[in-house]
Structure 1
Amino acid sequence: MKPLRRLGLLLVVVLMFLLAGCGGASQEKGAATSGGTSSAGTSNPTKPKYTVALEATFAPFEFRDMKTGDFTGFDIDLIKAVGQVAGFDVEIKEMGFDGIITALQTNNVDLAISGISIDDERKKAVDFSMPYYQSGLVVAVKTDNNTIKGFDDLNGKKIAVQIGTTSAKEAKKIPGAKVTELDKVPDLFLELKNGGVDAVVNDLPVTAYYIQQGNKDIKIVGDVRAAEYYGIAVPKGKTEVLQKINEGLKTLKENGQYAEIYKKWFGQDPPSFLPGEPPQQKQ
């Protein structure tokens, strides 16, 4: 009797196992079907995701948070806000500044926001949004330097600039100047502090922000030169992307979000003409 009883118990266990397996498969299939139906039945199409190129050492426009390692800055907040109101998601792709235009031309990225000045040469290679920030170039020297007081005193001097920028173009116009092009903005000021160069030519807000972070051994001298307007760059012919960006910038200006982001990073209200109106309309 004992062998038969054992055999009976074994058959019960096998039967229970088979039933459990069939029930599990049915549940999984039902769940998958339910999920598929729910997704297919969604009336709103999935938002497109645009890859955004930037060079993340250009504080306060784009840089990495020292604690979290996340990208942060004025440009980061702005492009995310544009995406929210214009209906697209953002995926950041960090690269060297001198490679951004090429990445756009080869369609390796969908757009770029990285303190990119709108100039005639770049407009031949890419398309730009309406301007979203007004900047300019300044000279920075060590605080104990009393001989260089502006651009006019840079003749024959050693100057550090970021490679591929309008700062580099401007510095190369200076007679006799020995221009050193470096990849990242912090490297410019390190070279200045170490005595490798006499001055740095760079964008005003970036230089000012660097000094505000406790680098009191650096000072800005002279006037602002070459007033510039930053724009969001897209590959030539990407009219749909460009239209979304421009509409997003206009919306942010109208609803006050642009002013909020601007004040967060620069501590003051933005110029009334930015963004959404061409520079010549400045009051």
Structure 2
Amino acid sequence: MIMKQILKIGVDSAAPFPLHSDYNSTTFEGFEVDMLQAIGKVLNLEFQYEVSLWSNILEKLYKGELDIICSAVTMTSSRQMILEFSTPYLEFKLCAVVNKGDTHGDDQTFKDKRIGIRIATEAEKYVMSKFPSNTTVHAETNKELYEKLLDRKIDVLIDDSPIAGGFLDKYDSLEIGHFIPNSDSRYAIAMKKGDIELKERINETLELLHENGTYDAIYEKWFSHIRLS
């Protein structure tokens, strides 16, 4: 009997549903969970999940404390300099989430607004570079950020559209004000720099999942009702 290779997978403690739910909840599920299960079945892999704050998770991978991260990791040029990335598996945009009824049609309406953003995210980088004079509220978790918006402690929050879609399912009083122009982004599986063999095996499997319809079935299950851009 061939022993399964065990990989340590880093996931965000602030669950970015529908990518994945809280690992410590009764049911651990989501798009990335299903996708990894399909990859693991093909490659005979066993996964050990390790939960960490997003502000720490990339550093843990860089130090070799994790084998991969599959937790809504945006693939960027700066990250590609220190990490390996698989073929992207989801394309999306950043979006502005507001309370229903609040006027927010484009970036011009950010003027004088209190903007909420998660720490150590691409959304945070965007806001700090584009709107340095605005009042900004930084949060460690998605839940904290959306609750601040509901309580009107902030006027708008910037988030990845897949994650925003998950919260809009939960909170009927919120909506996407607009998608951020020129914020096209992609999620990919992150690995340690130089882990080329693993990257190639994962990429080959992702291609197979696209070819045999498995990817499309998983996508339809989790994103058929969510607008990503």
Do both share a fold (TM > 0.5)? yes
Query: Once the two structures are superposed, what CA deviation does each residue of 1:216-263 show, in whole Å capped at 9, x if it has no partner?
Result: 211111234301011100010111221221111111111111111111
Structure (1 or 2) with the greater helix fraction: 1
Q: Structure 2: which amino acid aligns with 1:164? A: A
Displaced runs of 4+ in structure 1, greater than 6 A?
none
8 Å Cα contact 1:188/1:200 also seen in 2:
yes
- Aligned equivalent of 2:217: 260
Instruction: Tell me how far apart the structure 1 counterparts of residues 81 and 137 of structure 2 sit (CA, whole Å).
Output: 26
- Aligned equivalent of 1:59: 17
- Aligned equivalent of 1:71: 28
Residue 112 (structure 2) aligned to one of 156, 163, 177? 156
- Aligned equivalent of 1:49: 6
Q: Would you say 1:166 and 2:129 are equivalent positions?
A: no
8 Å Cα contact 2:67/2:191 also seen in 1:
yes
Alignment: residue pair count: 223
Q: 1:115 Cα deviation (Å)?
A: 0.9
- Aligned equivalent of 1:22: none
- Aligned equivalent of 1:133: 90
SS where residue 45 of structure 1 aligns?
coil
RMSD between aligned alpha carbons? 1.9
- Aligned equivalent of 1:104: 61
TM-score (norm 2): 0.91
Instruction: Tell me how far apart the structure 2 counterparts of residues 63 and 150 of structure 1 sit (CA, whole Å).
Output: 31
Instruction: Tell me how far apart the structure 2 counterparts of residues 155 and 128 of structure 1 sit (CA, whole Å).
Output: 36
Tell me, which stretches of 5 or more residues in structure 2 are unaligned?
A: none
Instruction: Tell me how far apart the structure 2 counterparts of residues 253 and 211 of structure 1 sit (CA, whole Å).
Output: 28
Query: Once the two structures are superposed, what CA deviation does each residue of 1:105-136 show, in whole Å capped at 9, x if it has no partner?
Result: 11111000111111111111211001100011
Q: 1:84 Cα deviation (Å)?
A: 1.0
8 Å Cα contact 1:78/1:261 also seen in 2:
yes
Instruction: Tell me how far apart the structure 2 counterparts of residues 211 and 238 of structure 1 sit (CA, whole Å).
Output: 37
Q: 1:90 Cα deviation (Å)?
A: 1.2
Query: Once the two structures are superposed, what CA deviation does each residue of 1:173-208 show, in whole Å capped at 9, x if it has no partner?
Result: 233122222111111110111121111000112112
- Aligned equivalent of 1:209: 166
Q: Structure 2: which amino acid aligns with 1:107? A: G
Structure-to-structure mapping, 1:85-96, within 5 angstroms: 85-96=42-53
Percent of residue pairs identical: 23
8 Å Cα contact 2:118/2:139 also seen in 1:
yes
Query: Once the two structures are superposed, what CA deviation does each residue of 1:137-186 show, in whole Å capped at 9, x if it has no partner?
Result: 0001111322x323221133211111111111111123312222211111
Q: 1:65 Cα deviation (Å)?
A: 7.9
Residue 146 (structure 2) aligned to one of 161, 185, 189? 189
TM-score (norm 1): 0.74
Q: Would you say 1:117 and 2:74 are equivalent positions?
A: yes
8 Å Cα contact 1:55/1:95 also seen in 2:
yes
Tell me, which stretches of 5 or more residues in structure 1 are unaligned?
A: 1-43, 269-283
**Against the structure 1 CA distance between its residues 65 and 116, is the aligned structure 2 distance closer, same or farther, given a 3 Å change threshold?**
closer
Instruction: Tell me how far apart the structure 2 counterparts of residues 85 and 151 of structure 1 sit (CA, whole Å).
Output: 44
Q: 1:45 Cα deviation (Å)?
A: 2.8
